[in-house]
Amino acid sequence: MKLKLARTTLKAKPKLIELSKIEEQLADKSIFYFDKDNTHKEIMALIEYFEERDNSVYMREIKYGLNEGEYTYEVHIVQ
């Protein structure tokens, strides 16, 4: 499964990341930011994937503007 990481600028295209790469990075960091172009269903599948591996996962939407579409997903994965 591939997810889109949060954009670094408003005009940039989001980069793709595999779940296996996220697992590899868990040793170094536990907070990941995902782009609004990911569907809620994809984010929930990510949460289920890591919860099945006995990790605690917390997700929230972070709004960075006044418009409805100006948000990003913040996901905390704790081993």
Instruction: Print pLDDT tens along the chain (79 aa).
Output: 999 999 988 889 999 999 999 999 999 999 999 999 999 999 999 999 999 999 999 999 999 888 888 999 999 999 8
Give residue limits of the domains in the chain: 30-72
Distance, in Å, from the CA atom of 50 to the CA atom of 77, rounded to the nearest integer, reads 8
Give this prediction's pTM. Answer: 0.91
Q: How many CB atoms lie within 10 A of CB 9?
A: 6
Dihedral sign (CA 18, 21, 23, 29): negative
